[in-house]
A and B are shown apart, each in its own frame.
Chain A
C-alpha cells in the first residue's frame, strides 16, 4: 500500500480542497452568523458597516436570553428528559437486539418487518390514541410518558437502535457464546457476561444518538411531557426556544431593570444557548460520534 501511492494531480487536489472548504463554510455559516450576531449590541445590529465582527464583546444578550429562558432549570430538565429515556432505551433495545440476533424463533421475519415498518410510519398516526392513553394512565405531563415506551422498546427512533444492537450482536462469534454455555452459563448469564461487554461500541453509539435525538425532539415532548398548554412543570431548552418570544415578553414585563425589546441578537443568543450544551458534548466526544456509524456496521444491512 505504501509504495503504490499514485500521485493525484495538483489541480484535482486543489479543487477538492477548495470545494470542501467552500461547503464547510456553507455548513458553518448559520453557526458563525449566530455567534457573531449574538455578541452584537443594538447599535451594531443597525450599523450597516458592521457585518461580522461586533464592535465590542457584549455578553448582555446572553444574560437576558438566559434569564428569560430560565436557563439552568431548563438545562437540568433537558438533561433528565434526554438521559433517563436513553438509559431505558439502552436496556430494552440491547435485550431485544440480542433476541433478534441470537435466536431463531417462528415469526422472526414478521417481527423484523414490523420493526422496520414502525420506523417508516410517521409518529402522528399513533400520536392521538397514545395521548389519550397517557392521560388515562395519568402519566401525561410526567417523565413517564417518555420512560414507559422506551422501557418496552418503543421509544423515539427505537427501531434504529434495535437494528444497531442486532447487527452488533450478530458480529460476535457464535463460538464465544457456545463456549460460555458449555462452561455452564445460562442464557442470561451468557448474555450479560459475554455479549454485553463486547458490545461497548454499540452502547456508546446508541447512547449518544438517543440522547441527541431526545434532546432535539420538540414536537412529541411538547405534546406528551411539556403539555400543549404549558401546564406541566417539565420543559426543555428546545421548547423554551420554541416559545422564546412569549417567554421573553413575559420576562420583560417582570424584569426590574429595563430590558431591551426582543431583537435579532437576543434571538440568536437564545438559540446559541439552547444548542451550546450539545455542541460542548459533541466536541468533547467527537471521536465517538464520528466513528460511531463505522463501528456499528449498520451499513451491512
Chain B
C-alpha cells in the first residue's frame, strides 16, 4: 500500500498490479510452502477450535442463561442480560472485589516494573557476585504459587517487619481518602509478595540492557552527557518494547494468580447451590472480568505506546521545519516569476526603459 501511495498509481494501474501480483503469488512452490505451513499449524488449529473458540462462544451462551444442574442433566433457561444485571446490581461482592482488583493492579504494576528495571540496572553494572544476586532475584519465580503465598501471608512472612505497617497505614489514611488509602496500604503490607512477582521481569530487562550498544554510551559520554541523561535518552528508549512486554506480563500474571479474590469468587459461584447462581452466573462474571482485564491491558498498552520518545519528536519537528522552508521557497519562486512576467509585459509596452525605475521585492 505504501508503495502504491508513493508512486501515485492510478486506479487502473493499481488494479493491474494487483492482478499481476495475484498471478505471481500462485507459484507452485509458494503454494506448496503455504500448504506445508498449514500442516505444521494443524495441532494449533485443532486446539484453538476445541479449547479456545468453542469454550469462548459457549461461555457467552452460558452467560445469557440460567443453568441448573438436575439429575437429568443441565437445564438452560434463557435470561438474556439477567445474569449481568444481577451481578452488577445485587451481588454484594463482585463489584467491590473488581474495584479492589483494578486499583491494586494499577498501583502495583508500575511498582513491579520500575522495581524490576532498577534491579536489572544495578545487576548490569560491573559488580562482583552478579550470578549470586541473579540467583536470589529469580528464586521467587520458581516457588511463587497461590497456596504458598496464602500460607506466607497468613503467617506474617509476607511483609517486612522492619517497616511499621500500622503507622504507615495510619499516615496514608490521614492524607488520602479512604478509597485510595486502602489499596495503597495493602500494597505496602504485602510488599514482599509484590516484589516477588518481578523475577521474570528482572531477567527480561537484564537481557534487554545487555543488548544496548555500549558505543552509544561512549558517544554520549564524549558529548558530555551525564549518567542521568544517558538513562533517559539511551536506556529508556531502547527498553521501550521490553517495558510494554513486562507490563503486560505483570498484569496477566496478577490476573491469573489464584490469590486473586475475583477468580475465587467465580469458582465459588460456579459450584454454588443457590437457584440464581451456577454455571451461567459464573460465566457472566468471567466475561465481565475478562473484559476488564483486556481493557486494563489495552489502557497500559496505549499509555506506553502513544508516548513518542525524544528522537522521534525531533525528527518530526525538523521535518515540519523543512516543509515550511520548502513552502516558503516555492512562494518566493512564484512571486519572482510573477514579477518577471509583469516586468516583461511592461517592457513590451515600452513603458520601462531602465532597470532602476522598476519596483522589485529583492
Contact = CB atoms under 8 A, between A and B. Distances in A.
Interface of A: 5, 8, 13, 16-17, 19-20, 23-24, 26-31, 33-34, 37, 92, 95-96, 98-100, 102-106, 108, 111, 114-115, 118-133, 149, 151-154, 162, 187, 191, 212, 215-219, 223, 228, 238-239, 241-242, 244, 264, 267-268, 270-271, 274-275, 278-279, 281-282, 286, 289-290, 292-294, 298-299, 301
Nearest to B208: A299
B123 to A, nearest CB: 8
Interface stretch (B174-182, B289-297, B311-319): B289-297
A267 B136 contact: no
A126 B59 contact: yes
B326 to A, nearest CB: 37
Contact of A268 (B43, B50, B155, B245): B155
Contact of A122 (B44, B52, B154, B290): B290
A161 to B, nearest CB: 12
B137 A99 contact: no
Contacts of B36: 103, 187
Contacts of A152: 43-44, 46-47, 50-51
A99 B37 contact: yes
Closest 6 CB pairs of A and B: A152-B47, A103-B37, A99-B40, A216-B145, A126-B55, A105-B37
A104 B30 CA distance: 9
The main secondary structure of chain B at its interface with chain A is helix
Interface in B5-50: 33-41, 43-44, 46-48, 50
Contact of A293 (B44, B123, B200): B200
A39 B154 CA distance: 18
A31 to B, nearest CB: 8
- Most-contacted residue by chain B among A31, A99, A122, A152 (CB, 10 A): A122
The main secondary structure of chain A at its interface with chain B is helix
A95 B43 contact: yes
Contacts of B203: 290, 292-294
A126 B158 CA distance: 32
Given A290-B134, A294-B207, A103 B147 contact: no
Given A294-B210, A299-B208, A301-B245, A118 B52 contact: yes
Interface string B127-151: 1000101111111111111111011
Given A152-B47, A219-B267, A122 B286 contact: yes
A50 B54 CA distance: 58
Given A126-B51, A275-B143, A27 B137 contact: yes
Contact of A126 (B56, B136, B210, B271): B56
A154 B47 contact: yes
B324 to A, nearest CB: 38
Contact of B282 (A31, A111, A128): A128
B271 A228 contact: yes
B146 A24 contact: no
A17 B137 contact: no
Contacts of A92: 43-44, 47
Interface residues of B, number: 91
Contacts of A129: 54-56, 58-59, 62, 283
B195 A26 contact: yes
Given A24-B133, A29-B157, A219-B263, A278 B40 contact: no
Contact of B55 (A108, A133, A271): A133
Interface stretch (B78-86, B88-96, B250-258, B333-341): B250-258
26 contacts: A23-B119, A27-B139, A27-B140, A31-B139, A102-B37, A105-B33, A114-B52, A122-B263, A125-B55, A125-B59, A125-B283, A133-B55, A152-B44, A212-B141, A223-B267, A239-B147, A242-B146, A264-B155, A271-B151, A274-B147, A278-B143, A279-B139, A281-B142, A282-B142, A294-B210, A299-B204
- Most-contacted residue by chain B among A23, A29, A126 (CB, 10 A): A126
B352 interface: no
Contacts of A118: 48, 52
- Most-contacted residue by chain A among B127, B211, B256 (CB, 10 A): B256
B122 interface: yes
Nearest to B150: A242
B285 to A, nearest CB: 8
Interface in B189-247: 191-192, 195-196, 200, 203-204, 206-208, 210-211, 241-242, 245
A174 B35 CA distance: 19
A151 B34 CA distance: 23
- Most-contacted residue by chain A among B145, B196, B200, B210 (CB, 10 A): B145
A37 B46 CA distance: 50
Contacts of B34: 103-106
B242 A241 contact: no
B160 interface: yes
B258 A124 contact: no
A121 B290 CA distance: 6
Contact of B135 (A130, A219, A286): A286
A125 B126 contact: no
B52 to A, nearest CB: 6
B146 A120 contact: no
A152 to B, nearest CB: 3
A293 B209 CA distance: 13
A218 B258 contact: yes
Contacts of A218: 145-147, 258
Contacts of B152: 30, 34, 271
A26 B290 contact: no
A242 B241 CA distance: 37
B147 to A, nearest CB: 4
Contacts of B271: 228
A217 B258 CA distance: 8
B317 to A, nearest CB: 30
Nearest to B143: A275
Contacts of A16: 122, 125, 127
Nearest to B133: A20
